[in-house]
Amino acid sequence: MIEFDFATPCAPKSSVVTVGVYDGVHLGHRFTLSKVVEEAKRTGRRSVVATFDVHPASIVRPESAPLMLCSLDQRLELLDELGIDLVAVIPFTQERSNEPPEEFIQQVLVESLGAGSIIVGDNFHFGKNRAGNVELLQHETAAAGISVEGVHLEAADGDVVSSTRIRQLVSAGEMTHATQLLNRVHELPGVVMRGDGRGGAELGYPTANVAVAPTLAVPALGIYAGWYRDERHNAIPAAISVGKRPTFYEDGEQLIEAHLLGFEGDLYGAHARVSFGHRLRPEEKFDGVEALIAQMEIDVADARAFCDLHADLAPSA
Asked if residues 313 and 179 have their Cβ atoms less than 8 Å apart, the reply is: yes
Q: What pLDDT digit, counting tens, does each position of 206-232 carry?
A: 899 999 999 999 999 999 999 999 999
Sheet holding 46-52, edge to edge: 2-3, 86-90, 46-52, 15-19, 115-121, 147-151
| pLDDT tier at 85, thresholds 50, 70, 90 | very high
User: Taking Cα atoms as reference points, which of 72, 71, 83 lies closest to residue 274?
Assistant: 71
Query: Which is it for the CA torsion 166, 72, 66, 235, positive or negative?
Result: positive
Model pLDDT, residue 73: 96
Task: Domains for the chain: give ranges and CATH numbers.
Answer: 2-160 (3.40.50.620), 186-313 (2.40.30.30)
What confidence tens digit (pLDDT) does each residue in 46-81 have?
999 999 999 999 999 999 999 999 999 999 999 999
Is the pTM higher than 0.85?
Answer: yes
List active site positions.
Answer: 257
Tell me the CB-side half-sphere exposure of residue 23, using CA atoms within 13 A: 24
- Is pLDDT above 60 for 251? yes
